[in-house]
Amino acid sequence: MKSKKFALLALSASLLYGCTASDNTGVSEENDSFSVSEKEVSAETTEPLDLSGSWQQEDADEETYMAGYIQGKTMEIYWIMDNGETKMLYWAGTYVPPEEDLQEYTWVSENDTLKTDMALLASSSEAKEFTYKDGKITFTVSMQDVSRDVALVKTDKDYSEGFKETSVVEESQRKKAELEESGYTVLRNGDYVHISYAVRINNPNEELAIDFPTITITARREDNSIISSEEMVLMNIAAGETITYANDAMYEGNEDPATVDITVSNGKDDYSYQNGSGAVYEKDLAISNVSVRKDSFSTAFTGEITNNSDMDTDLAITVLYKDDEGNMLGGFTGYLDDVASKETKVFEITDYSETVKDYSTYELYAHNW
């Protein structure tokens, strides 16, 4: 990954050196201070200046150049490389549409770090100034202590692929993962105590996927002291989605817990916009033709799963055990790699621990991994 990043930096640096020179060469964009300015025009004009659509670098080299897309109150700028085969994000942020028909217009775009933090060649500036004049949008690009101005002109070529207008979700508006339901079963087996647990976790955010939600299973004594604590980190949860997951936690010893606490959490930066997050919805993963095979040491579940989403993905397939009143008793999870979009694939997952022995019903769920 490091060598790939250095190669990409070299490509973008060569593009940067080929851009039109700026008067403030050598000034890092990270320290720029910006202000919005507008040139007033005749009050007779009724339609405001419209900059929405696709923009491409003026006199762009066919192999490497910059391009962008503006819609609503959102904008993105990309590095275009390999004769248009590669598009990498440089800037994603707010756009402030003008309210008048202006000949010149300047706005400050606030960086949408939920998009740019994961992009190798994205700017790390908190804000960036853009200016429209004479049919061009200009802005400063800085890299390796060199700054150059880039001019974009309107184009019929569509750069909207993958773009989704979003409102920047401030940190205070990002909601934590919520534990909807949980259950567990404890079994002592030889020198180890097994805790089979199951959870349903909800992502209450409408626009954001939650990355790396973490389940913590804590075994406690009667005096509330801790015998053992274990964490399980999942991949992600799609926006507005509730997923089901089950697994087995264990610790060495013969001391049964008086209680088991199950909690879920995620970090303050563990979010990404649903579009581009890679998070598949559970409802798009259809499980069918399930059968069970038991032997003396394990229970195997076989079936077929269809990936109805538009993304190729690896999958986690969870078996949830319930009692006759519908309460969660625990379960386990198996994994299936490389399930292409619209593909149906056969799976077999096996419960070797069999911590839960007396269950009335079982249910199967899947989510991306």
Instruction: Reply yes or no on whether the pLDDT at 207 is more than 80.
Output: yes
Cα separation, 212 vs 202, whole angstroms: 13
- Percent of the chain's residues with pLDDT above 90: 66
SS3 332: strand
Please tell me which residue, 241 or 276, carries the higher pLDDT value. Answer: 241
The predicted pLDDT at position 21 comes to 39
The predicted pLDDT at position 18 comes to 52
Nearest Cα residue to 52 out of 154, 167, 162? 154
The predicted pLDDT at position 168 comes to 66
Rounded to an integer, the average pLDDT of 238-265 is 95
30 — phi, psi (to 5°)?
A: -70, -25
314-360 residue pLDDT tens: 999 999 999 999 999 999 999 999 999 999 999 999 999 889 988 99
Q: What is the pTM of this model?
A: 0.67
The predicted pLDDT at position 32 comes to 46
The predicted pLDDT at position 2 comes to 39
Instruction: Reply yes or no on whether the pLDDT at 190 is more than 70.
Output: yes
The predicted pLDDT at position 4 comes to 41
Rounded to an integer, the average pLDDT of 76-80 is 93
Cα separation, 69 vs 166, whole angstroms: 13
Give Cα 215 to chain centroid, integer Å: 18
Long-range contacts of 352-355 (CB under 8 A, 24+ apart): 352/297, 352/298, 353/187, 353/189, 353/194, 353/196, 353/248, 354/297, 354/298, 354/299, 355/185, 355/186, 355/187, 355/189, 355/194, 355/195, 355/196, 355/248, 355/330
pLDDT band at 210 (very low <50, low <70, confident <90, very high): very high
342: tokens are 């619209």
DSSP state string for 138-190: EEEEEETTEEEEEEEEE-SS---TT--------GGGPPPPEEEEEEEEEEEET
Q: What's the chain's average pLDDT? A: 86
9-59 residue pLDDT tens: 555 555 555 544 344 433 444 444 444 444 454 445 478 999 999 999 998
pLDDT band at 278 (very low <50, low <70, confident <90, very high): confident
SS3 36: coil
